[in-house]
Amino acid sequence: MPLSYRQPGVVFTDHHFSVPLDHDAPSGEQIELFAREAVAPGKDPEQLPWLVYLQGGPGFGANRFAGSGAWLPRALKEFRVLLLDQRGTGRSTPATRQTLPLRGGPREQADHLALLRSDSIVRDCEAIRPALTGGAPWTVLGQSFGGFCATRYLSSAPEGLAAALITGGLPSLDGHADDVYRAAYPRIARKVAAHYARYPMDVERAWRIAAHLREHEVVTDGGYRLTVEAFQSLGILLGGGDGSHRLHYLLEDAFVRTPSGPALADAFLAEVHGLLSHAGHPLYALVHESIYAQDHRPTAWSAERVRAEFPAFDAERALTGDGPLLFTGETVHPWMFDADPALRPLREAADLLAARTDWAPLYDADSLARNEVPVAAAVYHDDMYVDTAHSLATAGTVRGLRTWVTDEFEHDGVRAGGDRVLDRLLALVRDEV
């Protein structure tokens, strides 16, 4: 029997499902999916429509709400919500440095990781939908990478959808990872420039930290090797609505005086470790570039290669006096698998995945052009994580898709905006605005 329990404003029920690891081999190995159902108190007996939340990432389990936070209260007014831990994440069969060796060596691990993309996630959703809805279609809410999954859903199984709501997650339909990062680095530079314009004192602070890291070997208590490049990757904060402020407060408390001279403070290093470690979400690093992989082209550590085309991100250039230090953003690099103890055992598998060429297309432009599912997408103007131009090009391909382009929010608008983002998208798919 599913386990149910209450929190303020919501009743949760835990569900476990068995699905094929490889949907093309349904009689082969089965893996477990975990999903948490949420319903408003008193509405549990009602025949409510279902809304499935597809988490961003890749590699993160669904939100763990303490009560009905963020967008959930609005959804619970009319939906029964399913918070799905996508395959490999959360309480679903995990894929980590501890579990992947059960698959065998690096090649077997890479083969397993290749089965954790949006195409498999959508087939998982279709496998469990009949057991929950009795066969009725449901609405999906896809945030960031969850929007990539929703777009795949529209391409391959539109019959399963009553509507699709996408926030900050309309992907390029045919762009290679190189195209994604060539568009990303200029956006990241703009976000860094805006941060320094807001907090000009951080120019010197960032430079001082980077200079210290160049001269000292620094390892956090958790074993993370904090290099200059690792420090630069804290720029991922700048994609969130409060990220610039969080980065500022982090930088201002970086140093303490010690008998041996200035040193990076334990508190600073502890916070940095929490921000940079992939221990809780290793799949984010492992499969990040493969979410863009299509048409038999390797990703080949795309973000690292393309970064070389943008010399302003070269830390040594900044440290020798040629411009401020630039942070980076949502990019994954080979050095992370040396710096992070949660990733070190998986470096060879990651290299094999980056070299892989047997990628099938993820999206069907012809199917999307014939779309009949109501679709609405929030496109955040100058989103640091997902290119606005790519999103709008895709929006023009999907028949009937309605966009809401806004600069009111950053990439985390569905969380930061509370009811407003979900309200707007529901109104759009219902032709109420």
Same domain flag for 169 and 187:
no
* Structure confidence at residue 432 (pLDDT): 94
Q: Strand pairing partners for 264? A: 255
Helices 145-156/118-133 angle, 10° precision: 70
Q: How many domains does the chain have?
A: 2
* Structure confidence at residue 425 (pLDDT): 97
Same domain flag for 83 and 223:
no
- 411 as an active site residue: the answer is yes
Q: What angle do CA 213, 200, 314 make, to 5 degrees?
A: 40
From 221, 358, 366, 431, active-site residue: 358
Q: What is the pTM of this model?
A: 0.96
**Cis peptide preceding 186, ω within 30 of 0:** no
- 4 as an active site residue: the answer is no
Stretches where the chain sits below pLDDT 50 are none
* Structure confidence at residue 245 (pLDDT): 98
| Nearest in space to 370 (alpha carbons), one of 349, 397, 390 | 397
User: In this structure, are residues 318 and 325 in contact, taking their beta carbons and an 8 Å threshold?
Assistant: yes
Same domain flag for 7 and 121:
yes
355, 377, 395 — which closes off a domain? 355
Distances (CA, A) of 60 to 94, 226, 287, 355: 11, 23, 11, 24
| Nearest in space to 8 (alpha carbons), one of 37, 32, 40, 31 | 40
For the stretch 225-255, pLDDT in tens is 999 999 999 999 999 999 999 999 999 999 9
Distances (CA, A) of 69 to 2, 10, 50: 23, 10, 18
Same domain flag for 229 and 99:
no
Same domain flag for 206 and 297:
yes
Same domain flag for 233 and 136:
no
Q: How many CA atoms lie within 13 A of 30 on its CB side?
A: 8
- 144 as an active site residue: the answer is yes
From 273, 288, 390, 411, active-site residue: 411
Same domain flag for 154 and 184:
no
* Structure confidence at residue 353 (pLDDT): 98
* Structure confidence at residue 69 (pLDDT): 76
Same domain flag for 322 and 391:
no
DSSP state of 265: -
* Structure confidence at residue 71 (pLDDT): 94
Q: How many CA atoms lie within 13 A of 210 on its CB side?
A: 26
Same domain flag for 402 and 280:
no
Backbone angles phi and psi of 207, in degrees to 5? -60, -45
Same domain flag for 214 and 304:
yes
- Looking up residue 407, the CATH number of its domain turns out to be 3.40.50.1820
Rounded Cα gap, residues 98 and 280, in angstroms: 12
- Residue 40 sits in which domain range? 3-174+363-429
From 92, 118, 144, 277, active-site residue: 144
339, 355, 371 — which closes off a domain? 355
Same domain flag for 31 and 152:
yes
Same domain flag for 127 and 217:
no
355, 381, 398 — which closes off a domain? 355
